[in-house]
Structure 1
Amino acid sequence: MSDRADWQPLRDELRRWTAAGRKAKFWFRDDDAIEPTPALDRLLSLSDRFDVPMALAVIPGPTGEPLAERLASQSRVTVTVHGWTHQNYAPDETKKQELGLHRPQAIVLDELHRGFDKLKALYPSQFLPMLVPPWNRIDDALLPELSPFGYRAVSVFGLAKQAPITLVNTHIDIMNWHGVRGGLPHAGLIGRLVEELKNRFDGNDEPIGVMTHHLVHDDVAWGFVEALFEETAGHAAIEWRPVGNFLS
């Protein structure tokens, strides 16, 4: 492990967990996979190098056999449903959303049904019946309609609330979507990680989800993922788990 000084707050918090004989549950989600790319290769190599399981949110509409063939040998990868085409249907002045009520509900649900079936067929051993809504947004009215199609969980962003379906959320987004569209500064992300760990130490049992977007990573983003894995993989106080472990 290197002597990265900016990671010291995380090391200190993990030392507290180790002293208490406790382990924090982590999981990793990367969004927007469609086809094999050098960026995806880079992400998968990090998964292999540090033995970290990953959930890939695959966009069903445009994806196909090439990605399935690329992932077939990746035993640490779980495939989840990322909407249908990741298309925005919300008005210009509002937040982007594919899974809202801007279209007839029956059309939205039909797309989610088709996406489920397509990815389940492409990934017979790696598919997990979890929906990752594009932009982490889905209208609440759709949630009760998902389980009849076979969905067992939804993953959005933030601490999970009560819902008619299991929520396995992410809590750390490494990207700066409103600035340079690269990775956020590491110090702030480390601070967020420590906040989430303190929340869990005080009683919240929710697994901590880290979210990335491999197609738009810059050097800052890639550097954070590698440093995070180097600091945490194999640590006595951390368990990187496959997301399927958290489905009830």
Structure 2
Amino acid sequence: MTVDWSPLRTELARYRADGLRLPIWWRDDDATAPTPALHRLLGISEEIGLPVHIAVIPKTATPALAEIAKDRHSMIPVVHGWAHENLAPEGAKKAEFGHPHPDASTKTQAGLARMRQLFGPDLLAMFVPPWNRISAELTAGLAAQGYVALSTFTSRRARRVAGLVQINTHVDPIAWRAGGGLVAPDEVIAKAVVLLQDRRAGRADDTEPLGFLSHHLVHDKAIWDFSRGFLTELLEGGAKPCDFLRQPIDLP
């Protein structure tokens, strides 16, 4: 696969010329157990020097997954809902916590407790709602349960929401609406360039780390190759990797 990285390289060069800071982070969703794909993900993370914040499904997470986190500082577990179950009303977009339901807060609390039991100090108390959707009513109670951060998709509107630091993801290379596979690389790169231009021009929050979202369990070779290439281009272009477990999560 031949990818034209020149538009991204040009924009990153502008960042460097203007002395602008570009923090970046990596989130990968839906882990429950060790798999060859997970080991491949962590291998790439270590090779390029960018930790991966892995959204783990608490209900089905295994102790074997927690053992990996003890030995791999490149893996930062975060809380991915409770069971990754679609509870949206008929006709609505998929969501586990996007609509009020009686036991929602019980599940978010159970998710954090289960993850703390498994991962202990290796856990970052960040809540990642499945399908990136969460109701404001539920968000309002997360900080009191012990969560410190919330992550969904698209640029944040505020640095903090209901006592939580909001750190979203912005670039997803998977063509979900087409049934999977890699989005045309030119399209992903063009979107990333627009995101960077908006930050540089003050149209978006330039303090929010730029987030790359992946799903290791559904990657094919093209997605693996593009993901490695895209993140490498950012890092070689001057972007700074974020590790929210070991550095202040509320970055300036």
1:10-89 maps to which residues of 2 (within 5 A)?
10-89=8-87
Q: Which residue of 1 aligns with 2:123?
A: 127
Q: Which residue of 2 aligns with 1:187?
A: 186
TM-superposed CA distance for 1:92, in Å, is 3.2
Partner Cα separation in structure 1 for residue 53 and residue 100 of structure 2: 28
Q: Quick one: structure 1 residues 142 and 102, their matched pair in 2 at CA, closer, same or farther if it must change by over 3 Å?
A: closer
Partner Cα separation in structure 2 for residue 229 and residue 91 of structure 1: 37
Unmatched 5+ stretches in structure 1: none
Q: Select which of 129, 133, 137 maps to 2:133.
A: 137
Partner Cα separation in structure 1 for residue 248 and residue 177 of structure 2: 31
Q: Which residue of 2 aligns with 1:176?
A: 175
**Paired residue total:** 243
Any idea what SS the aligned residue of 1:91 has? coil
Q: Do structure 1's residue 216 and structure 2's residue 218 form an aligned pair?
A: yes
Q: Which residue of 1 aligns with 2:94?
A: 96
Q: Select which of 228, 231, 234 maps to 2:233.
A: 231
Partner Cα separation in structure 2 for residue 36 and residue 154 of structure 1: 25
Q: Normalising by structure 1, what TM-score?
A: 0.92
Any idea what SS the aligned residue of 1:172 has? coil
Partner Cα separation in structure 1 for residue 248 and residue 104 of structure 2: 26
- Kept after mapping to 1: 8 A contact 2:173/2:214: yes
Any idea what SS the aligned residue of 2:124 has? strand
Any idea what SS the aligned residue of 2:50 has? coil
Partner Cα separation in structure 1 for residue 48 and residue 18 of structure 2: 25
TM-superposed CA distance for 1:22, in Å, is 2.3
Q: Which residue of 2 aligns with 1:243?
A: 244
Q: Quick one: structure 1 residues 142 and 9, their matched pair in 2 at CA, closer, same or farther if it must change by over 3 Å?
A: same
Q: Do structure 1's residue 155 and structure 2's residue 154 form an aligned pair?
A: no
Residues 102-141 of structure 1, C-alpha deviations (whole Å, 9 max, x = no match): 521xx11111111101111211232111100000000111
User: Which amino acid in structure 2 is aligned with residue 91 of structure 1?
Assistant: P
Any idea what SS the aligned residue of 1:86 has? coil
- Kept after mapping to 1: 8 A contact 2:174/2:180: yes
- Kept after mapping to 2: 8 A contact 1:29/1:55: yes
Q: Which residue of 1 aligns with 2:110?
A: 114
Partner Cα separation in structure 2 for residue 10 and residue 246 of structure 1: 28
- Kept after mapping to 2: 8 A contact 1:90/1:102: no
Q: Quick one: structure 1 residues 229 and 100, their matched pair in 2 at CA, closer, same or farther if it must change by over 3 Å?
A: closer
Partner Cα separation in structure 1 for residue 201 and residue 51 of structure 2: 26
User: Which amino acid in structure 1 is aligned with residue 77 of structure 2?
Assistant: V
- Kept after mapping to 2: 8 A contact 1:99/1:139: yes
Unmatched 5+ stretches in structure 2: none
- Kept after mapping to 2: 8 A contact 1:130/1:152: yes
User: Which amino acid in structure 2 is aligned with residue 231 of structure 1?
Assistant: E
Give me the CA root mean square deviation.
1.7
- Kept after mapping to 2: 8 A contact 1:200/1:206: no
User: Which amino acid in structure 1 is aligned with residue 239 of structure 2?
Assistant: I
Partner Cα separation in structure 2 for residue 67 and residue 184 of structure 1: 29
Using the aligned pairs only, state the percent identity: 36
Any idea what SS the aligned residue of 1:109 has? helix
Partner Cα separation in structure 2 for residue 64 and residue 28 of structure 1: 22
Any idea what SS the aligned residue of 1:124 has? helix
- Kept after mapping to 2: 8 A contact 1:56/1:78: yes
